[in-house]
Amino acid sequence: MRMNNMTQNQTQSTSANKKISTYLTLIVLIVMALGITALFIAVETYLVGDQLAAGVLAGIGLIALTLSVFLLYQSKRQSAEVKIEVPKVMTTIECKCGSKTMREFQPGDYVFKDLDVPCQKCPTTKQMITGIYKEVKEKEKTYNV
Ligand SMILES: [Zn+2]
């Protein structure tokens, strides 16, 4: 499991989001079931004659139902945003000769790390990581506004 997480860094965030959304759906379903149960008990309590308890239970049931619908709506909106926004983490590699290359972030990358991979122009010089940043596309920027 740990090895898998390290090698598949890019897919890690999306699978985590899926886990959260299924977890959230489960909570929503439980809250919804509790709300419906509360409403049923409220009706029964009302028929028995305890109007105050029935009112409280009905209130709890309605709040639970509203909350679950709200959460469901929120989670759907969130998952839609996640689909659009999958930022890549990029690593900038520079050589002393001035050549600059970029590649996808790899586990173990950090700024000022010396790389064993030589540059294409001067094979004797070692390259160094000069920056790690998240790639932001123009479309995503306008979407958020
Ligand atoms: Zn070079």
Question: If you measure from the C-alpha of residue 123 to the centroid of ligand 1, how many angstroms do you get, rounded to a whole number?
Answer: 7
Q: What is the rounded average pLDDT of the residues 73-94?
A: 77
Q: Which pLDDT value is given to residue 135?
A: 81
C-alpha 128 – ligand 1 centre gap (Å): 10
Where do we find the tokens 């309590």? 45
Residue ranges per domain, the chain? 2-81, 89-137
Sheet holding 89-94, edge to edge: 100-104, 89-94, 126-134, 114-118
pLDDT for 110-142, tens place per residue? 999 999 888 888 888 889 999 999 887 655 455
The answer on pLDDT for 8 being more than 50 is no
| Range 90-114 average pLDDT | 92
User: DSSP string spanning 85-136?
Assistant: --PPEEEEEE-TTS-EEEEE--TT--TTPEEEEEPSS-TTSEEEEEEEEE--
- Going by the DSSP 8-state scheme, the letter that residue 137 receives in this structure is -
Distance (Å) from CA 127 to ligand 1 centroid: 7
- Predicted model pTM: 0.42
> Poorest-confidence range of 12-16, 36-40, 89-93?
12-16
Annotate 24-80 with DSSP letters as a single string. Answer: HHHHHHHHHHHHHHHHHHHHHHHHHT-HHHHHHHHHHHHHHHHHHHHHHHHHHHHHH
Ligand 1 centroid–CA 103 distance in Å is 16
